[in-house]
Amino acid sequence: MVRNYGVWIALLLTLAACYWVDLQEAENAEEAVTVAVNQTKVHAQKPITKGLSSHRNQEELILRSTDLTPPQNLFSALATDNAEAELAENQVPTTPANPYTYAGKISEDNIWTVFLTDGTNNFAVKAGGELQGGWRVKRIQREELTLVYMPLKQEIKLNIGATL
C-alpha cells in the first residue's frame, strides 16, 4: 500500500517538474521574441552592446540589413551558354519506345486492317496510315507491321502474329 502511494507521489512530482520547466521555457521564448522584435527595429548604424562578454573588449556589433533580393543560382557564373549548346549538340536523338500494342487484325480483299492500342485509345490502321506522336504505318504483312517514326525516319517492326 505504501509502495502504491510512493509511485503516485513520484508521478505527481514528475508532472509538477514538467509543468515548471514548460513555464520557464515559455518565459524564455517570450523574452527571445521581444528581443528579436526590438533588434529588428534597430538600424544598421546603431551598435548592440547588450550581452557582450568582457573577453571581446566590448567590440561593436552591427546588425545587417535584411536582404530582399530574390535568390540566384550560385553556380551560374561557372556555366556558360556554349556548354549548354555543346551538350545539346552532343545528344543524339533516339527513337522513342513503341507506344502501340497489337490488338488484332482483319483482312478484306487482301487489304489488312490492324487494330492497335496505346493503352487508352484504340486505332484501326492500314498501310500508309498516320498515328499520333509522329508514327506512320509503312507496310502490313501477314505476320509483321512496320511502323516508321517520322521525325527520325527510323523503322520499328511489330509482330502481329500468324494468320489462321
pLDDT in tens, the chain (164 residues): 778 889 999 999 999 999 998 888 877 766 665 555 555 544 444 455 555 554 454 455 666 777 788 888 777 766 666 666 666 677 777 878 888 899 999 988 888 899 999 888 999 999 999 998 889 999 998 889 999 999 888 998 988 886 55
pTM greater than 0.75: no
List the chain domain ranges: 2-62, 101-159
- The span from the CA of 36 to the CA of 8, in Å, is 42
List the grid coordinates of 1.
500500500
List the grid coordinates of 128.
500508309
**What amino acid occupies position 138?**
K
